Amino acid sequence: MQHQLWTRALFVVVLIGLYRWYSSMPGRGPEFAARATAELKLPYMEFTGTLEQSAGDMREHRVIKLPNNLVVLCTRDPDATQAAATLHVDVGSLADPPELNGLAHFLEHMLFMGTEKYPDEGEYIAFIKKNGGQYNAFTSLDTTGYYFGVANSALEQTLDRFSRFFIDPLFAPGSVDRELHAVDSEHKGNLQDDYRREFQLERLLSNSSHPFSMFSTGNLETLRDGSQRLGLDIRQEMIRFYQKHYSADIMRLVVAGNYSVDQLIEWSAAKFSAIASKGDSRPASPGHPLTPGVLGKIVRYQTLRNVHRMRLQFAVPELKAQYRTRPDKYVIHLVELQSPGSLFDYLKAQGLATEIYAYISTINMDGFNIFDIVIDLTPKGFEHYGGV
């Protein structure tokens, strides 16, 4: 789905909390105490350890764990003009069946198509827009995220609607064809994006037996036509995927607003405790997609825009356990330095490059990571890429 720019700031705020404690003690260690909500006396566990918080952060945070093992970060911001929530599921396109590329993405679309409690497929969207908000979702390799921003006064009612995505979705049969075309439309839009094209090329060049090599967005050919060729019902395959992977045990929720933390906990417990707990439903890590047989190659490709770029990729191991120290950040800092004597300083002085940057695929990836160094070249640098 297309990102709404104004919600990104809110999303970043809540994601800071989400990823900071994603693999840390909250939800996994012994420092939890039994509690009950003030109004409905609903059970939950409260993290009693120390939460890391910057000196300039005046917001109040509390981490809880619901009886279904869903870990929730509740944040009170008295100055917030809008409330926000995001729920992430630790499963993404790497879990797609090989015969149905894009199934996780298609599921993301279909979750918006009504629930048993709110069967009108347009009700959630209409309610958010009525209350000055926006919504969105995305599917990445290893996670699927859903989020919204809305007027503070509408937070409880929006949470009630939002939670039902993960409790009693209808996957309305009448919406299947339309959403398949919506997925296909996203794919066609991506065809004009050099970065998307480059990413897909990167995947095609990886180990063909690894799910990283598959086509994550999906389109009519892989989803509708592919299922028909195999005699499968695409809706039933999607429901099967949802029932297998969407478990409270691999979900994380963040709720932020100008209400008291106790009130945010009350709503979280009341509305999200019914999500089914199925254990750790993440797919097993299949190892690294950049095996020795696919490394050591130089690939040239034609871009749509008039750019000259060099990308160097390195296979690195899983870094999730190093999320506190982030060794990749030290290497990135050294690569991106622009001070005298740095790599960029030399390349620029020689008229070979205009920019250099580096990044890791994602710190949360299970089983592997990919380290990229990207250099924007001048025409001279492109001609003499070997020297660069």
In angstroms, the CA 89 to CA 305 distance is 35
Q: What DSSP string runs through 192-224?
A: T-HHHHHHHHHHHTS-TTSGGGS-SS--TIIII
| Whether 108 is catalytic | yes
Distance of CA 245 to the CA centre of its chain: 15
Secondary structure of residue 300 in the 3-state scheme: coil
Contacts of 320 (CB under 8 A, 6+ apart): 23, 363, 364, 365, 366
Closest CA to 135 of 11, 43, 297: 11
Closest CA to 92 of 142, 129, 151: 142
Residue reference for tokens 């509740």: 74
Residue at 40: amino acid letter: L
Set 39, 60, 108, 156: catalytic member:
108
Contacts of 238 (CB under 8 A, 6+ apart): 103, 106, 107, 110, 171
Q: Give the residue numbers marked as catalytic.
A: 108
